[in-house]
Structure 1
C-alpha cells in the first residue's frame, strides 16, 4: 500500500524525464549459428552468448532458420524480416518497417519499440559482401581504392536506406533511431593517418564511402564514439582467414541518431574459429566468423 501511494504521488513530469538504459547487440551469427562446419554445440553456444549478454535488443544477421528457436530461448518478442535479418526485443514491438520497393528485406528492415513508454526505432542491416573487404588494394591511391569499393552496390544500398528513412529521420528527436548490422565495409574512423601502418592497412588512409555517408547523415558510430583512438582499440569484428593472420577490420556497427539517445558503454567481442569465447565469466563455443558489438544507451 505504501508503494502504491508513492507511485501515485510521483509527478507526471518526473515520470516522463526518467532515463532508461537500452542494451543493443548486433551480430552476424553465420548461418543461424549452426553451420555445417560446427553442428550441435554451435547453436547452443550462440544462444548462450545472446542470453548471457542480457541485451535488450538483438539485431541478427544470417538468421537462416533459427529465429523461433532464439526467440523462445530468450523469451523475447521478435520479427523475422527475411531469411537473413531478424530482430529480438525484451520490449513490445509496436510497428514493423520494410521497404521492399526500394531496398530488399534481405538487406534492411526495422521495428518500433515501446521501452517502458518511450519509443525507439531500431533497424537491422546487411550490405553486400562484394567487393571483399579482405582484398582491399592498399597499394593504390585513395581515389583508386574508393573506386574499387564503389564498383559494388554498398554505396547505392546505403543511399537507398537513408532515402526511405527520410520521414522517420524527420522525427528523430522525438523517436530516436538505431541502425546496426553487418555493413561489410570499413570505416574512415579506423583507416586514419595514425593507423596506416597498422592492421595490414598497407599505408593507406581511406575515407570509406558508407561510413562517411552515415556520418554526413548525422549518425554516430557508437563504438568509435566511446573508443575514439583506433590505435589503442580497433574493436575488430572480422579477421583475415588466409595466409596473413594480421589483418583485422571492423565491419559491423551500431549507429544512432536523436537527442534522446546517448551511447554510454560499447564493446566488441570476437573469437578465433573454432574456439571458445570467455564472455562475462563463462566460456561459450563461438560459431561465427564475425564478432559482435554491444552498445548500451541511455534513453530519455
Structure 2
C-alpha cells in the first residue's frame, strides 16, 4: 500500500470524529429584579447596564418593568447597550421583561399584568439550530404568605397580633394570590413547547419561597417560627419535572440559603429595603428553573449583588457558603440577582 493510501486511511477517521462531535456553547441566564427600572437608587439605570454587561449574560429575565413616561424600557436598554458596544434584542413588555443576545423569534405577554397582580413574559429565542422557550416571571406580590409566620400581613405588611403558623391557613392564604394561576399556565404551556422540541427555561421573582428552603432543619431560623411547609409554586413546578437550578447545585439550604431578598443597599437607608422591620424576612424568592433536555445541562450558578442582607432592620454580613459576585459599583436594586450558566449542545 502506498504512503498516500495510508495517509487517506489515517485522515478519514479523524475527519469523521470531528464532523460528528457536537458543538457546545455556554448559555448564561440572569434573573434580575431591577426595582422600578433602577429609579429608586441614584444612578440605578446606568448600574443595570453595567451589571448586565459584567454578568456576560445571554438571556436576562427582568422584573419590575414600568415603561415610565410612556417610554419603552426594552428600546432604551437595547439602544444604550448598543452604544456601549453590545447587541441585545428585546420587545416592549410590562412588569416582566426579556433581554436576549440571540434573536427573538416571537415575544408575548403570556400572562399579562392585571391590577398589578404579577405577570409572565414569554419569548421564543433562536440559538443556532435550537429554539428556547424562555419565561420571565414577576409574580403577584400580594397574599405573600411567607410574611405571616413572621408576624406581618402579607398584603398590607401591617404587624399581626401574633405570627400565623398553621400550615393550612398559610397555604390557603398563598392560594389567594395570582402566583398559582400564573405558574399553572406556565406548566401547561411548557408541555406544548417541549412537544415542539424546544428547550424550556423559567426565571423570575416569585414573591414566594421554595418548599426546599422551609424545612425541618431551619424551622427555628429566619423567623420561620417552627413552620415546615410545601410552598405551592415551587412544589407544582418540581412535580412537573422542572429543576430548581440553585438547589441542583446547592441542595442544602442550611449551608447555602441563597437569600435574594432583602438585599442591603449601601446607597439607601436600611428602612427602604424592608417590609417587616421587626423580623428576619430573608428568603430566596428569585429563581431559575429549567426542564430536563438532552441539549442542555447546568454547569454553575451563583448570586450577584452585595453579600450583606437585612434582618430586624440591621445589616447582616452573611456567613453562608453561597458564592457571590460582588457589584461593580452602584447596586440598582433591593434584590440580589441569580446567574446560572448552562451548557447548550447545538
Place the TM-score, normalised by the shorter chain, in its bin: 0.7 to 0.9
Counterpart position of 1:67:
74
Retained in 1: the 8 A contact 2:165–2:225? no
Could you tell me which residue of structure 2 aligns to residue 52 of structure 1?
Answer: 54
Q: Distance in 2 between matches of 1:113 and 1:151?
A: 33
**Kept in 2: contact 1:122–1:179 (CA 8 A):** yes
SS of residue matched to 1:165: helix
**2:239 alignment partner, one of 210, 213, 216:** 216
Please list, as runs of the form range in 1=range in 2, the aligned pairs for 1:154-169 lying within 5 A after superposition. 154-169=179-194
Cα distance in 2 between the residues matched to 1:26 and 1:291: 9
Question: Post-superposition shift, 1:117?
Answer: 3.0
RMSD: 2.3
C-alpha distance after superposition, 1:21-61 (max 9, x if no partner) = 100001110111123xx34x111222211111111111111
Which deviates more from structure 2 when the two are superposed, residues 54-63 or residues 115-124?
115-124
8 Å Cα contact 1:49-1:284 kept in structure 2: no
Relative to structure 1, the CA distance from residue 227 to residue 281 in structure 2 (aligned partners, 3 Å threshold; closer, same or farther) is: closer
Question: 1:81 Cα deviation (Å)?
Answer: 4.7
2:135 paired with 1:128: no
Mapped to 2, the partners of 1:151 and 1:93 lie a distance apart of 34
Indicate conservation of the 8 Å contact 1:122/1:178, yes or no.
yes
Contact 1:78 1:86 in 2 (8 A): no
- Count of residue pairs the alignment pairs up: 278
Tell me the TM-score normalized by structure 1.
0.84
Deviation at 1:280, TM superposition (A): 5.0
- Displacement of 1:281 in angstroms is 6.7
Q: 1:288 maps to which residue? A: 333
* Residue 252 of structure 2 is aligned to residue 229 of structure 1: yes
Q: In structure 1, what is the equivalent of residue 35 of structure 2?
A: 30
Task: With the length of structure 2 as denominator, give the TM-score of the two structures.
Answer: 0.74
Partner of 1:267: 302
Residue in structure 1 matched with residue 269 of structure 2 by the alignment: none
CA contact (8 A) 1:133 1:184 kept: no
Distance 1:282 1:26, change over 3 A: closer
Preserved CA contact (<8 Å) 2:140 2:206: yes
Per-residue CA deviation, residues 159-215 of structure 1 (Å, 9 max, x unaligned), is 1232233311324xx321101111111100100111111122111101001110000
- What is the distance in 2 between the residues matched to 1:213 and 1:156? 11
Matches within 5 A, 1:58-137: 58-65=60-67, 66-74=73-81, 75-99=86-110, 103-104=111-112, 107-133=119-145, 135-137=147-149
Give the whole-Å Cα distance in 2 for the aligned partners of 1:110 and 1:282.
28
Q: Structure 1 stretches of 5 or more lacking a match?
A: 1-8
Matches within 5 A, 1:123-202: 123-133=135-145, 135-137=147-149, 139-171=164-196, 174-202=197-225
Looking at structure 1, the residues matched to 103 and 75 of structure 2 have their Cα atoms a distance apart, in angstroms, of 16
Distance 1:141 1:281 in 2: 38
| Conserved 8 A contact 1:139-1:204 | no
Question: Partners in 1 of 2:182 and 2:128 — Cα distance?
Answer: 33
